[in-house]
Amino acid sequence: MARHANHGANQALGSPWGDETAVVDALLDWARNRVVRSSDPKTTARPASELRNAAGKTVTPSGIGAREAMRVVEEVLLPATRAMDDPMNLAYIAAAPSRTSMAFDCVVSAANVFGGMWETGAGAIHAENEALAWLVELLGWPGTAGGTFVSGGTTGNLSALATARETARRRLGGRPEGGWRLACTSEAHSSIKSAVRLLDADVVEVPTVRGRLTGPALREVLRAERDAGRTVFAVVATAGTTNGGVIDELDGVADACREFGAWMHVDGAYGGAGLAAPSVRDRYRGIERADSFIVDPHKWLFSTYDCCALIYREPHHARAAHAQHAGYLDEIDREQWNPADLAVQLTRRARGLPFWFGLATHGTDRYTEAVETTLATARRVADHIRAADHLRLLQEPDLSVLLFERPGWTEEQYSAWSRRNSAEGVILCVPTKFEGRSVLRLAFVNPLTRADKVIPILDTLA
Ligand SMILES: *Cc1c(COP(=O)(O)O)cnc(C)c1O
């Protein structure tokens, strides 16, 4: 350790930044305190004009100094960000990073590994691959499957679907008559539609059956497409839809994909975590036959932002789609596991490491328990809603998302109730749409969320 400290001090002599030792100490102390402190649920966004006034001009020719910059961070900037890891943040899909993963994220930043290529990041990539191997095992895929970590589900879905399209292009010898077509339901995440646009493809929408993509409905659409002389290159199934937490009928989808030669991608950004939970594992039957899969450890696998695990059954397809080639990259050993070859990215931080460190530290059994705890909390709250005279549960939850309504309330009443509770830091529960009307939604991803804290708040809807 002493050797490293001396090295740092010597470096400071010629550094354009001067002696940074005091700043480094102060920031690392601050990070330490932040990691162990609980979040403040009242933190919230403010208009840009207010922030400009409160923060003052921060980027100036001579700098405002670390002390003043940190004051601005602590007093102005961070209070204007939402506490995503608060146990009562049950809106959208929140986050629940373990302290271990938060602290290790600081270590990852300090190590500043270039994680794009094996030659620069081998050790880090090896550890990331260990974490991916656990997911591969949960999927029931062969040990030759693999992938990398990207920033989030959006990039993961795009990378997987670009691979699917390139694989089809090679098989067909070019762009098919009628263009690139991808099948999914209206419940697929917005990032799928974004990927489709970027890939110059079109969506073929499959009608849902009780919010689900099913084998028979998919088969009918694929047959009609084939009869019309068109090619559907990929099907996107969702394991845990964002709005309702619904798992598509993966077994039937896998059958249909096999019959029609379509790539099967499973978007498990939120719900993929349930693979670790024996109480719901059955619902994923069929996932063992998919071609690609994503899950965001920053959602329900207790890691920090931003982190998406992207996995291919046959990674060589991804290399064909994503590997970048240029004179300055010719020296790269393509036989090695280069994450840059597998997704839309070249430079990357080793963003899977906080996830890996949490797994390595606590063991996978603790992850199973933490996911099961969240599911049990969601079930307890669901039981309460089902039994309450003033509330109606709108669908039986597959996972940990609850959709419910307070019959008689209007959109405005839901919004006012939601905003008041948010402002007071009581709970973050925002309305969504279900079958065209406004309803309420709770999404559980945090094992620290307690049903006995949530239930009394729901009684204020009476
Ligand atoms: C959150 C989510 C995404 C997008 O993931 P990001 O990490 O926000 O890019 C994609 N699909 C599903 C099902 C999601 O829940």
pLDDT in tens, 368-403: 999 999 999 999 999 999 999 999 999 999 999 999
Residue 99: inside a domain, yes or no?
A: no
pLDDT tens-place string over residues 155-189? 999 999 999 999 999 999 999 989 999 999 999 99
Mean pLDDT for all residues in the chain:
95
pLDDT of residue 1: 44
Pick from 361, 382, 398: which residue ends a domain? 361
Q: Give the total number of structural domains in the chain.
A: 4
Looking at the fold, whether 262 and 339 belong to one and the same domain comes out as yes
Looking at the fold, whether 76 and 182 belong to one and the same domain comes out as no
The overall pTM is greater than 0.75: yes
Looking at the fold, whether 29 and 54 belong to one and the same domain comes out as no
CA 51 to centroid of chain Cα atoms: 29
Average pLDDT over residues 80-87: 94
Distance (Å) from CA 165 to ligand 1 centroid: 20
Looking at the fold, whether 181 and 279 belong to one and the same domain comes out as yes
Output the residue whose Cα is nearest ligand 1's atom 5: 153
Distance (Å) from CA 151 to ligand 1 centroid: 10
Q: Which atom of ligand 1 is nearest to the CA of 153?
A: 5
Residue with tokens 């373990």: 98
E strands of 33-151, at which residues? 146-150
Residue 284: inside a domain, yes or no?
A: yes
Residue 87: inside a domain, yes or no?
A: no
* Residue 228 scores a pLDDT above 70: yes
Residue 86: inside a domain, yes or no?
A: no
Q: Is the CB of 185 under 6 A from ligand 1?
A: no
What does each C-alpha distance from 203 to 61, 102, 133, 236 come to in angstroms? 50, 38, 32, 10
Q: Which atom of ligand 1 is nearest to the CA of 306?
A: 7
Residue 95: inside a domain, yes or no?
A: no
Looking at the fold, whether 349 and 232 belong to one and the same domain comes out as yes
Looking at the fold, whether 245 and 373 belong to one and the same domain comes out as no
Q: Is the CB of 267 under 6 A from ligand 1?
A: yes
Looking at the fold, whether 255 and 344 belong to one and the same domain comes out as yes
- What is the number of other CB atoms lying within 10 angstroms of the CB of residue 45? 10
Q: How far apart are CA 377 and CA 245, in angstroms?
A: 15
* Residue 5 scores a pLDDT above 60: no
pLDDT of residue 9: 53
CATH number of residue 370's parent domain: 3.90.1150.10
Distance (Å) from CA 8 to ligand 1 centroid: 40
Q: Is the CB of 296 under 6 A from ligand 1?
A: yes
SS3 of 47, please?
Answer: coil
Looking at the fold, whether 178 and 275 belong to one and the same domain comes out as yes
Q: Do you find a cis peptide bond into 306, omega within 30 degrees of 0?
A: yes
Q: Which residues of 216-233 are buried (b: 16+ CB within 10 A; e: fewer)?
A: ebbbebbeebeeeebbbb
Domain ranges, residue 447:
365-461
Looking at the fold, whether 56 and 138 belong to one and the same domain comes out as no
Residue 187: inside a domain, yes or no?
A: yes
